[in-house]
Structures are given as structure tokens and as C-alpha cells.
Amino acid sequence: PVLFKEELKNVETKEGGTAVLHCEISKPDATVEWRKGGKVLEPSAKYEMKVKGSVAELIIHGVEPGDS
């Protein structure tokens, strides 16, 4: 199974800004599924997902209070 080597940490940014969340996983280039509540996030103008080796990133553009 894929495990977290480094878990998510809180990130603060100004409303309308960009937030980058990242975590490190035990298996490089594994498929990562980002969720908000029970909903799976899909790539869009607001959400960008990247995996670079063992680091997975979620980039949130146009941050709003509801993104917390």
C-alpha cells in the first residue's frame, strides 16, 4: 500500500490568492486522489494536481473562505 511519508500541513493565504498543499508518499508517481469532504476534486481552473516523484501537490487558485 502507499503510505504518507510527509502528511499535509495547514497553509494560509489571502482570499483570492493561490494555496499549494503538498504531501510525500512512499511510492513515487502513484495515483493520488484529492478530496474535499467526501467529494473527489477534479482538475479545473480552480484545482490543479501534480505528482513529482514522491511529492503530490494540490494547487488551489482563487482561494475562498469555503476552501478551508
Backbone angles phi, psi at 65, to 5 degrees: -55, -35
pTM for this predicted structure: 0.86
In order of start, what are the domains of the chain with their CATH numbers?
4-63 (2.60.40.10)
**CA 7 from centroid of its chain's CA atoms:** 11
* Strand positions, DSSP E, 10-60: 19-25, 35-36, 39-40, 47-52, 55-60
pLDDT per residue as tens digits for the range 13-65:
999 999 999 999 999 888 889 999 889 999 999 999 999 999 999 999 999 99
